[in-house]
Amino acid sequence: MLSGNKRVGLCSGLQLGICVFVTIAVGCVGNPFSTFRGQTPERSFEDLESDGLTLVGELTIPTGMTNTMVRGVGLVTGLRQTGGNPQPSGYREQLLNEMAAYDVSDPNGVLASKGTALVTVHGYMYPGIQRGDRFDIYINIPKRSDTTSLRKGKLLVTPLKTTAVMNNSIREGHVDAKGGGWVLVDAVFENSDNEKQLIQGRVLGGGICRKSRSLGLRVKQGSASIAASTIISNAVNLRFSYFVGSQRKGVADPKTPGIIELSVPTKYRHNVQRYMRVVRAIPLRVSPTDRLLLLNELELELLEPTSTAQAALKLEALGEESIDVLRRGVESDEIEVRFYSAEALAYLDDEHVAPVLAQIGAQERAFRWHALAALAAIRHVSSYEALTQLLNHPSAETRYGAFRAMKARNPRDPLVRGQVLDGKFILHELPDGGEPMVHFANSRASEIVLFGSQQRLHTPNFLFVGPRIMIKRLDDEKVRVIRFTPGEEDEELVTSNRLGDVARTIVELDGGYEEVYQAFRSAKLTGKLNSRLEVDRQARAGRKFDRDTSESDGRFRAANPVPGLYSASPAPDDDEKDDDFIDSTFSPEPDRGFFGRIKALVSREDSID
């Protein structure tokens, strides 16, 4: 038992439920929860050690928890006479230098082609990203460019450098990523011909990380020492470790007296923010007797809705010894207590909570994304079964969220692996069940998910798909897909009117992601498609849930931020969001260098097809 003032301080702190969650915004990450005694950050390591229970977060500040921007200048090719010769600028000089390095003949002629366009490229590498992971990249036309559209364009492989603001100017660093792929202009899903939206867009999952980003802990000033780093690392490694062969290795590696590098366990791979919170909630030194007292105190907090989120996080930080307490929380009548208890148990590898998380995720929108991310962390078949059932849920975002969780859990699963069509996008056809639905992604990967493989077009007499493709009825089960090319004979293919077959045929006739969307959207608008048509049904932060309370409106926000698995890719003007989930099954063409294929492309780009 704790004695004297130590016990009083511990108990009073726990009863007050002092717990402030991490806030990640503009490079600042707060303490996962304040100390149990209310001491200030300026106190030394020795003072804290002598004062009772000390948390890792009291002595450290997280590092590597913000998005890192990467930038570059690239060339989009394959345009249909909508490109332009870029004006003299630093961008043009940078691109010309890059072309010279690859010995491209007549680089100025290449830039002058109406089939090419100089573009600026940028993206955001999220916290904990690993070498080979993917992220969205954004494409823009520089000012004073006479390029009118990037439709049908493909960005050649572009080096992307890290950037930082120093002395009120942007400084470039090393090439930490590369990017390339088919450009999806913003006008596509806005269903418009807005001039601005035609000259800006993105390559979904087009960025590839070349250098893993590490996470870490920086020991606070005044506490940094070899002894402090060692004790902090030991405490973290006691909670988190893994095996390399037969050798057990901890996740924390003290690099210097003030810096501790952290590796991320697989189960937290898509929820790095939670992992850092748990790490900083780990006690440095707690005797077995004190742990029993702490568990008793935390159980009281866990069963109280107003403090359950904080208590569940603290219990997760203690590890397996908290499982029995958290299981009692799962039996509570309060949905908050059940959810936060089940969520913590999921990250403690308790497969029994999968049905609970699935039920709460289906029922309560505020907890949905956290429940799905937690299900993705469970390796047991119970998680797979729960997610499979959610694929048939009436909610579009729940269905797509479950699909993405299944991909994160096992991207090689035949159910969600999909088929890559000519390197342009991935087509997924799921078994029939629930309301037929078609989902197009607008972040992380170009992918179409058909919820129901037997969905069909209702044999349209004719359906225009952009300016050069048309679909015509052949009979009740077949259609003709025709491609018009000026100056050439029309190409025609016959296929079934199943949506999957129609999509494949459009691609075979040189169509892509945009043309398939246009076809399905036109069919929906003309009553030839009965299925639901959805675009990028993603998580939205800040959702509230109703709590049975006497407070004013009785509505409260979920305590945790949206997991990286579902948080949106950062928009060009929004640096505060992060992107974590990257499709690992969609590989680009082999990298032949920035201009490895430029000579072969120029002749085609100058032609009208």
CA 258 to chain centre: 30
Question: What is the amino acid identity at position 90?
Answer: G
| String of DSSP letters for 445-459 | S-EEEEESTT-B---
∠ CA 253-255-261, rounded to 5°: 45
C-alpha span between 426 and 449 (Å, rounded): 8
Mean pLDDT of 136-147: 94
Which residue has better confidence, 194 or 251? 251
Kindly list the domain boundaries of the chain, sorted by start residue: 4-65+214-286, 68-213+571-605, 299-413, 415-535
Residue 255's contacts (CB-CB under 8 Å, 6 or more residues apart) are 216, 261
C-alpha span between 22 and 57 (Å, rounded): 10
| String of DSSP letters for 85-111 | -PPSSHHHHHHHHHHHHTT-SSHHHHH
The model's pTM:
0.82
Q: Inform me whether the pLDDT recorded for 424 exceeds 80.
A: yes
Span 236-289, pLDDT tens digits: 999 999 888 888 899 999 998 899 999 999 999 999 999 999 999 999 988 888
Most confident of 13-22, 99-108, 388-397: 388-397
User: How high is the pLDDT of residue 486?
Assistant: 83
pLDDT band, very low/low/confident/very high, at 91 (cuts 50, 70, 90): very high
pLDDT band, very low/low/confident/very high, at 370 (cuts 50, 70, 90): very high
Span 218-233, pLDDT tens digits: 999 888 888 899 999 9
Contact 393, 402 (CB under 8 A): yes
Contact 420, 584 (CB under 8 A): no
Span 577-591, pLDDT tens digits: 332 222 222 233 344
